[in-house]
Structure 1
Amino acid sequence: MQLAVFILAYPLLWLISRLPFRILYFISDIVYQLLYHVVGYRKKVVRNNLALVFPEKSDLERLRIEKKFYKHLCDIFLEMAKTLGISNRQMHKRYVFTNVEVLQRLESEGKNTMIMMPHYASWEWVFSLNSQLNSRAYAIYQVIQNKYFDKLVRDIRGKYGTTLIRTTESRKIIKDAKKEGQLITVGIISDQSPMLNRTRHWAKFMNITVPIHVGGEELCKVLDMIPIYLKVEKLKRGYYQGTFKVLSEKPTEVEGYKISEAFLKEVEKSIYEAPEYYFWTHKRWKHKDKVPKEFQSMQE
């Protein structure tokens, strides 16, 4: 069954990847009309999230954010498919890094780095960064159940030389790479809600106390990697720029989970600047009413 679904879907994905961008976005506009006005995909989740995070905004203001978000959502999923056929020249024109010298300096000092990102603007095209670095690139990801699509995603994201590794195997692979003397850069998306039974820390995110992912910080401390926040901005349709900010030059000396909290503060800044580019379909605040006693003081 998995193979049948893949065989049916792949030709469409391949065709989309070969379309000129003007036609790609014309299709995206049509998909938006269907997804938003006809299907209403996760509209209740999006509205609940926006009302929770922006109680000070009017219904009309939140509705404008909602519609802009859905238009962006359609764009990024078609852009993901476009990655199959996009040329290197087009990629480097459409996804620019403003201060890649920050990473290059750390490389020259022999330091391994971890790039921490949220589901904001575009996280798929960041893989083009690897063509500007000398280090070995890894990206931690969640496996897709359909093994054929999982391989396709790994191939697409590995287009510029990045190796995808599962969350469960990340620590061992990174540790082994360091033992072999590899200079490495690891990418991780760290803004979504962890499973409650695996939660080790709670913090405020958009002024709401929630469980947070701390795996990235823990890896940085155990393996002495420099944590870096990647701020991505959408300049206009199909054009993005990424800016790096070092969260700590000495992660092993940072107390508690302050790196993870600093990461979330940076994510908040991006959301407040342009909320329509955040991934509002996720139930990020679903555990807000389950705060353990030791963290309840954060809500005050």
Structure 2
Amino acid sequence: MKYLRFFPFYVLSVLPFWLLYIISDLTFYLTYYILGYRKKVVRKNLNVAFPNKTKKEINTISKKFYKHFCDMFFEAIKLLTIKPSEIQNRFKINNLSKLTNHLKNHENVMLYTAHQGNWEWLTTVPLFLDVNCNTLYKPLSNSYFNDLFILMRERFNVHCIPSNEGYRHLLHLKNNNIVSMNCVIGDQSPLGKSGKQQTVFFNQQTSFFTGAAKIAKKTDSVIFLPYLKKIKRGTYELFFEKIVNQTATLNEQHIIDMYAHKLEEIIEKYPELYLWTHKRWKRDGITY
């Protein structure tokens, strides 16, 4: 049934990478030159993040970002059909032992992630280690695309949990002594009355969700920030940067401060691999 419902995306997914990248190039031309999708937002974000860069440098990063952005979309669709062996050839993990040592020691691990590199491919990590894996997500208003993304993300044994159920579910695992690795995206802008704290991020007072820090403390998790280096199209190297070893003695503000600082360092190193199309500072005084 799923093949019929998502037939157009399965057709795309079975295409070889070289053909997908031709389509990606065409999509880039349409998105960047014809439609100009969120170009003002991207350049505003880049100018806020890198005030010392020239207009030429900003334009160069912007164009590289859009090329990566289009590639990432088709690489994500590829998750529907890609063979595990091909993922293992294209997705190199630099320091997996950092995680496995803690898991073997019966410690929970939180991947405090960001919209960096190809974050959708993080759902393939269970191919490389045997552990209960969960990711918290905010359901999309469009049920068709919501179900499509769940299908892609759960293909390699990641359990997708709606964010409003995540705390209760992960605490249940801990109370039942089930060691888990849990993925929470931390760089989204908090909405409405969501729990939030501010910290300095690219020289701006920036709001961050407190949920990830709260969950990490309650589940006694070791916190890592995973990030990706793009070797070439369709080939990435994944790194794990430890942020916190013992969460019990730290407050939420300290955890968020360390996360934001480390994420900023990574973005400065690979600026074209970050998601610049969202209005990150809209609720922190920046006018778009």
Q: TM-score range by the shorter chain?
A: over 0.9
Correspondences of 1:122-137 after superposition (within 5 Å): 122-137=118-133
What residue in structure 2 maps to residue 3 of structure 1? none
Deviations 1:39-87 (A, max 9, x none): 1111111111111111111111101111111111100001111111111
Shift of 1:17: 0.4
Secondary structure of residue in 2 paired with 1:201: strand
Superposition TM-score, scaled by structure 2 size: 0.94
Conserved 8 A contact 2:190-2:196: no
Secondary structure of residue in 2 paired with 1:57: coil
Correspondences of 1:256-271 after superposition (within 5 Å): 256-271=252-267
What residue in structure 2 maps to residue 298 of structure 1? none
Conserved 8 A contact 1:204-1:210: yes
Residue in structure 2 matching 1:202, options 198, 205, 212:
198
1:143 equivalent in alignment to 2:139: yes
What residue in structure 2 maps to residue 41 of structure 1? 37
Secondary structure of residue in 1 paired with 2:241: strand
Secondary structure of residue in 1 paired with 2:119: coil
Correspondences of 1:24-35 after superposition (within 5 Å): 24-35=20-31
Distance 1:275 1:229 in 2: 16
1:17 equivalent in alignment to 2:13: yes
The count of corresponding residues between Structure 1 and Structure 2 is 285
CA 7–185 in structure 1, closer or farther in 2 if over 3 Å, else same: closer
What residue in structure 2 maps to residue 283 of structure 1? 279
What residue in structure 2 maps to residue 254 of structure 1? 250
Shift of 1:222: 1.5
1:233 equivalent in alignment to 2:229: yes
Superposition TM-score, scaled by structure 1 size: 0.91
Secondary structure of residue in 2 paired with 1:133: coil
What residue in structure 1 maps to residue 99 of structure 2? 103
Shift of 1:199: 4.1
Shift of 1:225: 1.2
What residue in structure 1 maps to residue 181 of structure 2? 185
Distance 2:83 2:180 in 1: 25
What residue in structure 2 maps to residue 294 of structure 1? none
Conserved 8 A contact 1:116-1:228: yes
Identity %: 31
Shift of 1:232: 1.3
1:84 equivalent in alignment to 2:77: no
Conserved 8 A contact 2:103-2:179: yes
RMSD: 1.7
What residue in structure 2 maps to residue 170 of structure 1? 166
Conserved 8 A contact 2:91-2:236: yes
Q: Which runs of 5+ in 2 are unaligned?
A: none
Q: Which runs of 5+ in 1 are unaligned?
A: 1-5, 291-300
Shift of 1:245: 2.1
Conserved 8 A contact 1:17-1:83: yes
